[in-house]
Amino acid sequence: MTPETIEQTPVIELRHVDKHFGDLHVLKDVSLAVHAGEVVVVVGPSGSGKSTLCRTINRLEPIDGGQILIEGTPLPQEGRALAAMRAEIGMVFQSFNLFAHRTILDNVTMGPVEVLGVPRKEAERDALELLGRVGVREQAAKVPAQLSGGQQQRVAIARALAMHPKVMLFDEPTSALDPEMINEVLEVMVGLAQGGMTMVVVTHEMGFARRVGHRVVFMADGQILEEGTPEAFFTHPQTERARDFIDSIQGH
C-alpha cells in the first residue's frame, strides 16, 4: 500500500498536543496524522519527546492541551470507553513487559479472553498461530524469564496482534536488546509493515525506516522539526539538528 491510496480520515490524528512533566515542556504543539496502512517512523535524540508522543496515543500519558483523535473520534479520557479504545491500539514496549507469572501462551491469550471475551479454545488456536508467525511457537509453555530478549519481544508483538488492532505502536522496541537479537525482531516488524499494518515506530533503526517506512518524523525538544520520506530525510535533512542527529547515529 502506498500513501496515495490512503482513506480520508486518519487512523491517528494529533492536533496541537501539549504535554508537561512538571516544569519540563515535553511536547510543544505537536500535530501529526497517520493514515491507514502507513508506517510512520519517529526519530530524534533522547529526551526529544518521541517516546512520550507514542505513549500519549493510547493515553498511557495524558496530555495537557490539544486533541487526539482515533479514526476521527476523540480519545476517551477514562473508563470503559478508554479501555475499549486501547484494545484496538496495539503497543510494544522497550522492555517487553510480558506478564512474568504467566506462560507465553497465556500472555497472548489473556487480552482476547479477558477483554474481548473470545472463548479460550479459539484464543489459544489464534495465539499459537501468531506465535508461529513470530517464530516462537515451541516456547508457548515456558514463562517469559526462560526466553531471550529477542524472543520475549516477539511474544510481546504477538500479544498485541492477538487483539487484531487497527494500529500498532512501537516504543523503541529494539533498544533494550543485545545487538544479535535486533534483527529477529525487526524482521517480524518488516513482515507486519509489508502486510499493510498501520504502524507508529519510535526507533533509531535507519535500515528499518528505509525498507518499510513511508514517512520519517524527526523530533527534537518536544517539537516535530521535519517530516518526509526516509530517503529524503536521511540523504537531505533540512535542519541543522537533523543533520547532527543523522551524523550521530551513523557514527557507529
**Binding region for another protein (CB under 8 A):** 21-22, 24, 26, 46-52, 55, 58-62, 76-80, 82-91, 93-101, 110-111, 114-115, 143-149, 152, 156, 159-160, 163, 171, 176
* Cα–Cα separations (whole angstroms), residue 158 to 108, 154, 205: 6, 6, 21
Between 53 and 214, whose beta carbon lies closer to another protein? 53
Cα gap 28→223, rounded to integer Å: 5
- Bridge partners of 219? 224
Residue 85 CB, nearest distance to another protein (Å)? 8
Residue 60 CB, nearest distance to another protein (Å)? 5
Residue 38 CB, nearest distance to another protein (Å)? 20
Residue 35 CB, nearest distance to another protein (Å)? 22
For residue 36, the one-letter residue type is A
Residue 90 CB, nearest distance to another protein (Å)? 8
Between 214 and 216, whose beta carbon lies closer to another protein? 216
Residue 135 CB, nearest distance to another protein (Å)? 18
Residue 200 CB, nearest distance to another protein (Å)? 13
* Cα–Cα separations (whole angstroms), residue 45 to 58, 189, 218, 248, 249: 22, 22, 9, 9, 9
Between 58 and 206, whose beta carbon lies closer to another protein? 58
The answer to whether 52 and 60 have CB atoms below 8 angstroms apart is no
Between 138 and 231, whose beta carbon lies closer to another protein? 138
Between 201 and 214, whose beta carbon lies closer to another protein? 201
The answer to whether 218 and 43 have CB atoms below 8 angstroms apart is yes
Between 101 and 121, whose beta carbon lies closer to another protein? 101
Cell of 102: 504467566
Between 2 and 145, whose beta carbon lies closer to another protein? 145
